[in-house]
Amino acid sequence: MRRSRTVAITGAVALATSALAGTTAAAATHTATTQVGAAASTRYVVLADRAADADTLAEALRGAGGQVSSVNRAIGMVAVESTSSVFLARARALPGVQVAGRDGVVGRSPDAAKVKVAVLKEHHSSLRTSAGASAAGARSAQSAAATKGPSDPLDSLLWGMDMIKAPAAHAKQLGDKRVRVGVMDTGVDGTHPDLAANFDRTLSRNFTKDMPVIDGPCEVASCVDPADVDDDGHGTHVAGTMAAAMNGMGVSGVAPDVGIVNVRAGQDSGYFFLAPTANALTYSGDVGIDVVNMSFYVDPWLYNCRGGAPEDTPEQAAEQDLIIETMTRALNYAHRKGVTLVAALGNDHDDVSHPRTDVSSPDFPVGTEHSRTIDDASCLDLPVEGPHVIGVSALGPSARKADYSNHAGNLRSGELEVSAPGGWYRDGLGTDSYLTNENLILSTAPRNVMVAEGQVDANGDVTPLGESLGTMKACTSRPAPGASACGYYQYLQGTSMASPHAAGVAALAVSAHGKVMGGSGFGLAPDRVRRLLMDTATNHACPTPALQSYVDVGRTAEFDALCVGSRAFNGFYGDGIVNALGVVR
């Protein structure tokens, strides 16, 4: 079974490539604790003091009985395994060690698969085929027809593109081919005919290794998927929203002429581990990626707290300290190297400035969760609350905050910068668009995932199940080199879908205003991109009344959200709805 909706971030999985700048890699085992001969091997992550030499530390860890999996010199991180029960104590006692902890799952990518299952259950009595056009789709078609920019056949269903004024922006700017967007996710289907033309095979990397215990059987003997594979679907959907090619078929992305780089950090199951995630971030900086989208959040700790929450054990607190320090270093490094960082705000229908009691963490392994008191001053929702990250909330077709989307109750806390279309199945109460697929976000999907989920059959035809979920198929007689002739498209919702809209707008900003920056090539400073995104965003006032209730669409009072702030900046919309036309003017 695949998980595809939250994120994991703490693991010492070996790198899937030997070409990572500043990093060496060796083979890693499949689980945090695995069997090596007769002894169990446990994985750890060790972070060096800032002034320490990572290679020297790696040698010391080998001397302490560890088998080094990877060394990230950019941030001083060493991933290591050992069969010794006292290895962690030895590692922590070594000179030059700042923090060390046992490796384990700490998050998942936002679960698009769960959303799809929930949607199917919600409207089983009124299933609609993809041929049915909702009110949202009709509005989108009318808006697209009024613009002068080029488009693709299914773009009339992309109401989100109309909301962010992408069609009008495309009349001025389709993106610069020197600009690259990084998809830090579960992978990208580089053979999809709507992605292949923009997919950068040379730079794309997979930093993960399949773990049968959570990912199922390995698809290849090495358990290392090629860098053009996505066995989950989440990353391919994100990639299409950002940069699907404008090629006369399917859909087009926000920035349809920019390059797509797969910097995969997520497992097939949707889990992310710390070492691959940190390595993907530093790699993105080293190879000159302009914008990285991070549609995931850290789990099993819904919030990582410095020193742990009061109810956590000392070892649990140490794990969270390790995650916070490592992610902070990696995010800072990527920012210094010119990467604009964009992340989903999260789907917990929570006020991230005043979080509820956490009753779900740690949610891996199952049965270990306990109630945790969350102090916003010391607890972080990563990566969105990490340094230099642009946080994005999710909206439905009506521009209302989607019921699932997090929001910010403290405008000075820095979690939320902008808002963007994320889809909302329950939007449009009282209209024909209520409870329809077209309220969600349509984007690219891998054929293998659609087949595995029963949405496409072995012959490549959309099944009745796929039709009920709005799955579509488009073919071309002239596919790009390396591409399949036919591509598939699926509807999903979440802040995972909002974030790539914003990342695509960021890529247009770099395209329109970037310049050759000495030896580092074409680009635009991340702080300038951030200002452009926020300064041009379309202001949107809080609803009236400011307390938004979702009880009328079947949600409990727990989903109620209070919007604070002004039309210029508030806790639902941040600085406003991202504006593609605004950044290219």
User: Would you give per-residue pLDDT tens digits along the chain (585 residues)?
Assistant: 233 333 333 332 221 222 233 333 322 333 344 443 445 678 899 999 976 789 999 999 999 999 998 999 999 999 999 999 999 999 999 999 999 998 755 556 655 443 443 443 333 222 222 333 333 443 443 343 445 478 999 999 999 999 999 999 999 999 999 999 999 999 999 999 999 999 999 999 999 988 888 889 999 999 999 999 999 999 999 999 999 999 999 999 999 999 999 999 998 888 888 889 999 999 999 999 999 999 986 556 888 999 999 999 999 999 999 999 999 999 999 999 999 999 999 999 999 999 999 998 887 676 889 999 999 999 998 999 999 999 999 999 999 999 999 999 988 878 999 999 999 999 999 999 999 999 999 999 999 999 999 999 999 999 999 999 999 999 999 999 999 999 999 999 999 999 999 999 999 999 999 999 877 789 999 999 999 999 999 999 999 999 999 999 999 999 999 999 999 999 999 999 999 999 999
HSE on the CB side for 95, CA within 13 Å?
A: 4
Query: In the numeric block, which tokens belong to residue 5?
Result: 């909706």
Residue 280: partners with Cβ closer than 8 Å, 6 or more residues away: 182, 184, 205, 207, 263, 264, 265
What is the C-alpha separation between 106 and 116, in angstroms, rounded? 23
- Dump strand ranges (E) for 385-540: 389-395, 418-421, 441-445, 472-475, 486-492, 515-516, 522-523
Backbone angles phi, psi at 369, to 5 degrees: -70, 155
Instruction: Note whether 278 and 72 are within 8 A (CB).
Output: yes
Instruction: Note whether 282 and 336 are within 8 A (CB).
Output: no
Residue 153: partners with Cβ closer than 8 Å, 6 or more residues away: 248, 249, 250, 474
DSSP 8-state code for residue 116: H
Query: In the numeric block, which tokens belong to residue 332?
Result: 């800072």
Strands 180-183 vs 77-82: parallel, antiparallel or unpaired: unpaired
Q: Report which of 477, 475, 487 is spatially closest to residue 447, judged by C-alpha positions.
A: 487
Within 10 angstroms of residue 356's Cβ, the number of other Cβ atoms is: 12
What is the C-alpha separation between 417 and 229, in angstroms, rounded? 32
176 vs 100, 167, 190, 292, CA distance in Å? 42, 16, 20, 16
Strand partners, 33: 42
- What is the pTM (predicted TM-score) of this model? 0.89
Query: In the numeric block, which tokens belong to residue 285?
Result: 């900086």
- Dump strand ranges (E) for 176-312: 180-183, 205-206, 259-264, 291-294, 297-299, 304-305
Side chain identity at 239, as an amino acid letter? Answer: A
HSE on the CB side for 100, CA within 13 Å?
A: 25
Strand partners, 344: 392
